[in-house]
Amino acid sequence: MIKIDQNYINGEYVKSSGTETQELINPTTKQLIGHVTLSTESDTQRAISAAKNAFVTFSKTTVEERSQLLQRLHDSVLAKVDLLASASAEEYGSPIGPSRGRAVFAAQTFLHAKEALKSFKFESQQGKTKIVMEPLGVIGAITPWNANYTHICGKIAPAIATGCTIVVKPSEISALQTKLLIECFHEAGVPNGVINIVNGTGAVVGAEITRHPDVAKISFTGSTTVGKLISKGAADTLKRLALELGGKSPNVILEDADFDKAIPMAVMIAFSNTGQACHAGTRLIVPEKRLAEVKKIIKDTVAATKLGNPMEMDTVLGPLVNQKQYDTVQHYIQLGLQEGGELITGGLGHPEGFENGYFAKPTVFANVTNDMSIAQQEIFGPVLAVISYKTEDEAVEIANDSIYGLAAYISSTNLERARNVASKLVAGRVLINKGVHDDPYAPFGGFKQSGIGRDSGIYGLEEHVEPKAILGYE
């Protein structure tokens, strides 16, 4: 039985002062695998204090010193990608193949920040004014359970690059992966107090980070509901905010698309990480006159997609993370049926033979209208809504009719046409004929209620500094 009762504070493993624990359950088998101790406000304050002290020295380090540290962080995370991928498969059922890919990407995040540093100007002069980009201070990072290591590394990299220090509160249901990451950071020789990690709940540790006056910025990834709470909690101390929130991303298939490629890709975009992905393309917007063809390709694609043990390399769909997520998915499938969606494949209950884990049936509804719950609300599971359109303008209108604006996808054989549609979509990232977010320099973040601010590349660095104007350079 695994017991995780330590935080990482000021370069040391420090026992949590909490007395409550949370169970860690393998979602494939529903077996108990361990416990994580939930930390207290005083553990959190200790971490913030360590980060504050470390900032005094770390903020004065050179770009060269920080580049070397980023390189070491990359190397040490890369050395553990297989372990991280296994922990992710064990702890939340994410299939091991993509999990490994995400671990490699997590390691690369440090190299991307190192690369972005090369062109980042910390000082410049405009007229008689010198402008200095000063690091913000202590960053409070709060991350979700899905893709734990990608989010944690993605928040640490720009903080380190700019000379900030950081306190991370990972999701309490991804403690195995966090434990491995702490080992990576320790082995990379991070100066004491620069990276601090506190396990615990959002209500205790997350809330304390959010209100603490010594935290300059909250970098949050998670649901829109919690993002709004954090926004309110951070208001009293006027913290800088980066909120990477939920999505209900449209995937627009234009009439001239290669349907044999575009539709199977659309299924994968919707079902990646078993649908537990913020950028999942969960609204498939297709030309009405080709609906019959679309339905057939979807059915064949889902039938050929392997659902099963996440530890096997060819598994695409694993279980959902926990009972709560399983129940949420069942609730939305029920709503889809009640609201008149036409079930193409899937439905309520477990897939046959997978009753012992939190497995849900990959489910696709056609005849969905954009006002239905399954088209408007983030489900975070393998449920795809197919919505048909008559004209391209209507397709754009449907795509934009959402409170979210995280990602959008377009398939077309005519690039010019696709780019024209891309210019009309309200989303932080638009992918043309692509299912993979493969450019590390592309800023990532959302329009509307998908969030505030951007991660990645030069934009990520800009959001960790404050410009100071010094007048008097005549």
* Residues with a known catalytic role: 244
| Tally of CB atoms within 10 A around 258 | 13
DSSP labels, 163-180: T-EEEEE--GGGHHHHHH
The yes or no reply on residue 470 touching ligand NAD (CB under 6 A) is no
Contact in structure between 93 and 186 (CB atoms under 8 Å): no
Q: Which is nearer to ligand NAD, 32 or 203 (CB)?
A: 203
Site residues (CB under 6 A) for ligand NAD, limited to 408-447: 446
State the Cα–Cα distance between residues 251 and 412, nearest whole angstrom.
11
Rounded to a whole number of angstroms, the minimum distance from the CB of residue 246 to ligand NAD is: 4
Contact in structure between 109 and 157 (CB atoms under 8 Å): yes
- From candidates 56, 203, 304, 470, binder to ligand NAD by CB under 6 A: 203
Beta strand segments in 108-258, E: 123-126, 129-135, 138-142, 165-169, 195-197, 217-221, 240-244, 250-253
Nearest to 184 by CA among 298, 96, 77, 112: 77
Select the span of 21-29, 100-108, 167-175, 408-416 touching ligand NAD (CB under 6 A): 167-175
Rounded to a whole number of angstroms, the minimum distance from the CB of residue 443 to ligand NAD is: 11
| Tally of CB atoms within 10 A around 247 | 30
Select the span of 78-86, 96-104, 240-248, 254-262 touching ligand NAD (CB under 6 A): 240-248
- Could you tell me the sign of the dihedral formed by the alpha carbons of 426, 432, 437, 438, in that order? negative
Going by their DSSP bridges, the two strands 129-135 and 123-126 should be labelled as antiparallel
Q: Which is nearer to ligand NAD, 69 or 406 (CB)?
A: 406
- What is the x/- site pattern for ligand NAD, positions 94-133, by CB under 6 A? ----------------------------------------
| Tally of CB atoms within 10 A around 1 | 7
Site residues (CB under 6 A) for ligand NAD, limited to 377-406: 378, 380, 406
List Cβ neighbours of 422 (8 Å cut-off, separation of 6 or more).
Answer: 408, 410, 430, 432
The yes or no reply on residue 144 touching ligand NAD (CB under 6 A) is yes
Select the span of 93-101, 110-118, 125-133, 241-249 touching ligand NAD (CB under 6 A): 241-249
Q: Which is nearer to ligand NAD, 162 or 171 (CB)?
A: 171
The yes or no reply on residue 86 touching ligand NAD (CB under 6 A) is no
Rounded to a whole number of angstroms, the minimum distance from the CB of residue 245 to ligand NAD is: 5
The yes or no reply on residue 208 touching ligand NAD (CB under 6 A) is no
The yes or no reply on residue 221 touching ligand NAD (CB under 6 A) is yes
DSSP state of 191: P
State the Cα–Cα distance between residues 261 and 97, nearest whole angstrom.
21
Q: Look at the block and give the residue holding tokens 């396990």.
A: 199
Rounded to a whole number of angstroms, the minimum distance from the CB of residue 460 to ligand NAD is: 12
Contacts with ligand NAD by CB under 6 A lie at 142-146, 169, 171-172, 201-203, 206-207, 210, 221-223, 226, 229-230, 244-247, 278, 378, 380, 406, 446, 451
